[in-house]
Each structure stands twice: as C-alpha cells, then as structure tokens.
Chain A
Amino acid sequence: MNFTLVYGQDLSEFPKLTNQMFKDRGTQFKDRLGWELDTDTEGRERDEYDDLNPLYVIVNDDEGNHLGSSRVMPTTGRTMLGEHFSHLTDGVAISSAAVWETTRFFISDRAHRRVAPALMWAGCALGLQSGVDFYASVTGAHLLRVFKLCGWPPEVIGRADSDEGEICAVLWEVSQELCDTLARKAGLPAGGQAPDIFVPAGDIETKMAA
C-alpha cells in the first residue's frame, strides 16, 4: 500500500493511476450511486473542480493501481459546498484558512479493508501538518457508517434528501489523536509524518545558467 499525493497539474506524471482514478470515479459516483455526472467516452468522470489544481490524496498498490482517493481544496477559494450545497450549512459559504474541503472520497473495488482508514489517515496527517483544523465535505449519508468504522466519524452539519439519496454536509476535526487512531486501523505506525506531496523534477540548473 502506497500513498500518492499529487496536485492536478502534475497528474500527467502518473498516467495509469490517473486514468484508473477517473474511471473508478465514473463507476462509483455515476454508475453505482446514480449521480448526475458527465463522463467521457472512456467512462472517466471529471468536473469543473478538477480544473482548479486540487490536491489528490491517493492510495495505490505496488503496481500503481488505484485503490482509493479523495480531492482536497482550500475553502478560501471556490468550493463545491459553497457553490452547490450551502443549503446544508445554514446558508454559510464556509471560507476559512483553517478549513479544507474534501470531495470525491471513495474506495475502489480493488481495495482491501485497510485502504479506507489509510486514505483517511493520509488526509488527517496532511491537515495536521499544514495547520488545518477541519475538513468540510458533502457526502452521501451511506458513507457515515464507513467513516465511523474507520475511526474518524464526522459531525453532520446538515442533511437533505436528494434524487441520489440522502446527502449531508459534514465536518471532520483534525487532531493527533485521530491520526493515531486511523494509523492503527490502517496498520501504519502511529505518529508518522504525512506522506510527501509529489514534486516534479526541477530544471534549476538550466535556469541558473540562463
């Protein structure tokens, strides 16, 4: 089990993983949950927020196969919650340097039971290391049980029925204790640093010479 943390603009460095992630998103959110989403001819699901250079937190196996992922963005910029779901947050478009939004959290069919807590651990550790107090998200109510089983139950801010079933706006607190719980469930050592974010190889020498 490996972690790949990569910004949207660098996804091209991981073609196989990226292709699988967007395909798996199509299978999960459109085919299975029936959300009204656009997919391309290959069945890949991408939306407008994928164009804003979000950070993808991905769990993959040794062969680079996608096992689970989520998409992270700061709430000081555009967010899905603020633009489409503020009716779930008392009309508040949450905008705070201390809150990041996570969307498109899901686990692929290839995954074993450690993947979900591992993915949540990576997000929690990343938030902790970055000075973030909370993650906010809109999620299907069916996932609340999964989050709880993983050891990171979110608080529900608001709920509503939709064509795609019950959805809710949720808030996850970020803390060392929660990180340690998630690490234990994922079979990872407690107190570990967040996985490194991928940095593309630099061309500093060339620039210095110029």
Chain B
Amino acid sequence: MSSIPDLSELGGIIEAIRAAYDVDHVTYYALSMGLNVRSLSESQMGWLSEGVGTWRREGRSLGAFSYSDDWIGHYADDRLELIDPVMRQAAIQFAPVDWSQLDWSEKGSRRFFNEAYDTGVGNQGYTVPVRGPNGQFAAFTINKTCNADLWAKLLLEHRGDFMLLANFVHQQALTLFEEAATVADRPLSAREKDAISLIAEGKSRAQAAGFLGISENTFRVYIDSARHKLGALNIPHAIALATHKGLISPQ
C-alpha cells in the first residue's frame, strides 16, 4: 500500500478533494483506528494548508477537517460526536447519511445545527461511514451551503466517487500505523492479478474480460476489488502499486 509520511499529508488529500468537487468543506474523522490507545495517545494538531483547516490527533481519534478551527476545537474538546445527529447515525449504519434526511426537529438537534452553521459549516452534508477490522470506525463528509436542487444534483453525479474516496482516505490514514498496515494487507487472488496485468498491458476492459472469459461487469468488480485491496485511488495507481510490490511484471 502506498503510504503518507504524516497526518498533515492527509490534509493535502482533503484539500484536493474539496477543490475537485467545489464543495465548502471535506472532513475525515476517525473515532477509532482499531489499534490500542497507547499508539495514538500523543496529542497533536496542525494546519491542513496555510492557515486553513486543521488536522488533529487526540487519544484514539484523528482527523483532518477544512472546518474553522473554532468549530473543530469545540467539537473535539466537548466531545460533540456524542450529540451530533450525523455521527450518531453514521455510527450505526454503513449506508451513507444525507443530512437532509435526518430529523432535525428536536430542540437539541436544531441548536447543534445552528451552532455549526454559525461557524461556517454548510447546510447540506453527506457523510459516508467507513469500517474496518478491530472496530475501526471513521466518517468522511462532504459539506456545502446550497439549495436542495443543487445538492441533489451534486450527489446524483458524484455519490459513487464519495463512497470510493471515503474508503481511500481511511486507507491512507491507516498507513500512518505500521501495525494497522499488516492488518489491512489483504492478498490478491490470481484472478485479480490477471485483471490488473491485462489492463497494464493496455487492453480495454472489454478485451480483458473476453480474454479471461468473464463478463465485463464481473471484470469491473474484480478489478475494483484489486484496487481496493491495494489501497489505490484509481486503476493506474493500482497498476503502479501492484508493479511496485512485484505482484505483476512491469510492461
């Protein structure tokens, strides 16, 4: 798996995603990396990019947020994840949470929402929960102030990307911990290596699927499975990683 040198690098990824999808905020917040507490005990924080956004590491949790520093500090110090309706919902499900579908009518929820909004958190949000072995749990959020129509259009167009990016960011965060990397390492089957090799040779998906005698959809699923296990963002990245690890021969 490719790895990032430190947590500030995660901020670079968050900022790149924010710019690419033209949203107000992107956050990644891991409440547990599935490791023992001691390995994560040092408390640290820093800027995502010059004067914008924050990454934090505290106890078991770590995250990178483009929200204002005030809100992040308040959220972390006062353990607001315990009352945040989004986190409460994300904690129990694996399907993404569209904030507009939550019940914000309760007084406490409304107060929380207004407080967040006043510090610059957008009114529309989409949170993808990510889970892994040993109780790993993180939430990846896209956030923007806009009307319902624009928001629906953004989700319709990109929700597949957000699902993938949530898992990718989490995998990148995991590479910060050696012991997590060994847990996360899942071997590729022969078929998955074949699939990556054929694409590396320059074959189209249809050609490669034909060569392996499987349908194009099955091929899509196999190659995405390989991509996910390698911790790659896309297919060229997966080819590079598989080559680097000696799983396939360089072309």
Contact = CB atoms under 8 A, between A and B. Distances in A.
Size category of the binding interface on chain A: 35 or more
B214 A55 contact: no
Interface string B196-224: 00000000000000000011011011101
A192 interface: no
A208 B108 contact: yes
Nearest to A208: B108
Given A90-B214, A91-B190, A199-B89, A131 B221 contact: no
B167 A94 contact: no
A126 B101 CA distance: 13
Contact of A90 (B108, B109, B222, B228): B222
B88 A93 contact: no
Interface in A166-210: 171, 173, 196-197, 199, 202, 204-205, 207-208
A98 B160 contact: yes
Contacts of A33: none
Nearest to A86: B189
Contacts of B186: 93, 95
Size category of the binding interface on chain B: 35 or more
Nearest to A134: B221
A142 to B, nearest CB: 21
Most chain-A Cβ atoms within 10 A of its Cβ — which of B111, B112, B132, B217? B217
Contacts of A41: none
Contacts of B222: 90, 92, 94
B189 A93 contact: yes
Contact of A98 (B85, B130, B163): B163
Interface of A: 7, 9-10, 53, 55, 73-77, 86, 90-99, 126, 129-134, 136, 155, 157, 171, 173, 196-197, 199, 202, 204-205, 207-208
Interface of B: 82-83, 85, 88-89, 92-96, 101-103, 106-109, 111-112, 128, 130-132, 159-164, 166-167, 186, 189-192, 214-215, 217-218, 220-222, 224-225, 227-229
Q: Which 10 A-B pairs have the closest CB atoms?
A: A131-B159, A204-B108, A131-B163, A90-B191, A208-B108, A91-B189, A96-B224, A131-B160, A97-B167, A205-B108
25 contacts: A53-B92, A76-B132, A90-B214, A92-B191, A93-B189, A93-B225, A94-B221, A94-B222, A95-B186, A95-B228, A97-B163, A97-B164, A99-B224, A131-B96, A131-B159, A131-B161, A132-B160, A134-B220, A155-B215, A157-B214, A197-B93, A199-B102, A204-B108, A205-B107, A208-B112
